Chains A and B, each alone.
Chain A
Amino acid sequence: MTSQEGPPIGPLGTHAAVLGGAAAPLVGDADHLFHSTMAPYNVTPVPTADNQPYWDGAKEGKLVLQRCQDKDCLKFNHPPVAVCNYCGDRNAELKWEETSGRGTLYSYYICYDTSVSGFEEKVPYAVIMVELEEQPDLLLMSNILNHEYDAMGGGLENGMALEAVFDKVNDDVSILQFQPRSG
């Protein structure tokens, strides 16, 4: 057995000692977090053949998702699939359909230590999961715009009503986001 040589780590709770590298300083006022946009986006989506309609829809301000056309299934698949995840019928047609964009907050976390390069400039920020009213188990990821919350989740309640809004990155790309539903 090899004995421990000195303390295994430095002072507790500091990023450099516990995880390696430097902790990002908190940019936002942790008691009053608010974003009207998450731009500039540090990661640019690159549409692929299988999800091009999703990004085309976003550019036009529409939430467009892939839906199984089998009349006994009619489930949305997101991310898109080649064979419907629900009915498994390889002959069922999969078409892109606009959705209501209405949903509720399913869950969230407040990101303090992102592993996505570039987002260190934004911490802390909320990443949320939205349950669309069309299909409860179809979870979409988002941040939350135009809503004040705090860094321990105050102001965020699971079940709160949300609606899609599109954050324009440039003429070619808009990104789906959610905000509190107005009506």
Chain B
Amino acid sequence: MAIQWPKGKRPVFVGSGSTPCRRYFDGSKSHRANEAALMAIEDAGLSVDDIDGIYIWADPNWGPNQRGDIKVWLDVPHMMSVVNWNNIKHWIQTDSPAAGSCAGPQLAAMALGAGVCNYALVIRTGHHPAGVRYRQVSGRQASGAASMTTVYGHGVGGSGQAITYQRYLAKYGAKRESMAGYVLNAHRNAQLNPYAVWNGRQITYEDYINSRLIAYPMCVFDNDMPVDGVQAVVMTTEDRAKDTPHPGGYISGIAAIPMHRSRGGVADSLEGLEEMNDWQAKNLYESAGVRPEDVDLKHVYDGFSPMVWMWLEAFGFAPRGEAHAWCQPENIALEGPHPLNTAGGNLGNGRIHGMTNVWETANQMMGTAGPRQLPRPDGELKKLDVALCETGPFGSASSFICTRE
């Protein structure tokens, strides 16, 4: 059963904002949060006083330890302090689903649809101070489930992805060389995104395949770069959006990861992840009342490159075990039939944990994506009616579908 919003209350994107995303910034994260928020509000043709709801996926447990700025991740109390708000009526800060930047627009959509607020800001930061290694496990003791993994020198992030990636390669007869097709395309899209950390520098196949290994079969370019940057969107309801300059992307479906579909073991199995994500995809399509073949614009999480293949299969864009062949530039480039992660995703833009996908979905549906805007005169994709946006890795993710009309 598709979501039934009250008449005139369909949630829709009306503005977006982004700071540059850079490996390190010298300045204050508070300044950048202010910059991205005000940019999004101005883009929506609104003022600070119009905003009455704030929705943030903050995930305060991630990232390096505090260093210098108030908080490493942008939480609501911090956001309240960096803009001169006057009319905030409601807010939610969630730390789950992990890496689920889609949780922000999901919460905003539900609050807007229910009439809890009228104009919602959704904002997300990445913050990585120099001199702090991202998510270092520095303790000399481990207990609980960690005691059954950390003792083997198994860390966080990409290591866990490497387990399922190796399994995928071996099971489906894929090669790590094929991943260059996705990674180079993400970096290519980043050349058209002025905020992306990789903007201005296109890597080559040789760069990719010869780069330093992190957790074989994964190399450094299979992992997104921790960056400093803030991205934001503003949402409102359909009736109010009529008075804004470029509304687009009406939220029609919402889903989150059904973790209960995977059970045993100290790390995720490929098969368990496929089970979970097939269920999320099924729930998302049912929620929106659309099918995979209806989706024009595809955004899936690429904090670690192997997830892209697995998500493309879960959402039904590529047959199971065949995304490694499908996910190549002739299919996924901006000019191709299935443009994917058009702002460069995490790998091209830098690690804002999926907020780049949310921001870019809003841009595309509002028609403000500039040189990346779809459909392109030279492109095989002829219409932009339905967009799917997923953020978060296997095991902890959320997603939404939105429509142009």
Contacts and interface: CB of A to CB of B under 8 A. Distances in A.
A143 B164 CA distance: 16
A111 B153 contact: yes
Nearest to B210: A13
Interface in B257-286: 263-267, 269-272
Q: What's the dominant secondary structure at chain A's contact region?
A: loop
Contact of B142 (A1, A44, A106): A44
B140 A43 contact: yes
A113 B226 CA distance: 15
A138 to B, nearest CB: 4
A152 B23 contact: no
B325 interface: no
Contacts of B269: 106, 129, 137, 139
Given A43-B151, A114-B153, A137-B263, A51 B214 contact: no
A183 B265 CA distance: 26
A107 B142 contact: no
Interface in B142-165: 142-145, 147-157, 159, 162-165
A2 B20 contact: yes
B128 interface: yes
A140 B153 contact: no
B201 A142 contact: no
Interface size class of B (residues with CB under 8 A): 35 or more
B133 interface: yes
Contacts of A42: 140, 153
A115 B194 CA distance: 31
A109 B145 CA distance: 20
B217 interface: yes
Nearest to B166: A107
Interface string A91-113: 00000000000000011111111
A82 interface: no
A141 B266 contact: yes
A138 B217 CA distance: 23
29 contacts: A12-B203, A12-B207, A19-B133, A38-B152, A41-B151, A43-B150, A44-B141, A45-B142, A45-B148, A45-B151, A76-B264, A85-B264, A86-B263, A106-B167, A109-B165, A109-B216, A112-B216, A113-B214, A115-B136, A115-B155, A116-B154, A117-B136, A117-B138, A118-B140, A125-B153, A135-B264, A138-B265, A139-B266, A140-B266
Interface of A: 1-4, 7-9, 12-15, 18-21, 23, 38, 41-48, 50-51, 54, 75-79, 85-86, 106-119, 122, 124-125, 127, 129, 135, 137-143, 151-153, 158, 175
Given A13-B211, A140-B266, 4 more contacts: A112-B214, A115-B156, A115-B159, A117-B138
Interface of B: 19-20, 22-23, 128, 130-145, 147-157, 159, 162-167, 170-171, 194-195, 197-201, 203, 207, 210-218, 220, 225-226, 263-267, 269-272
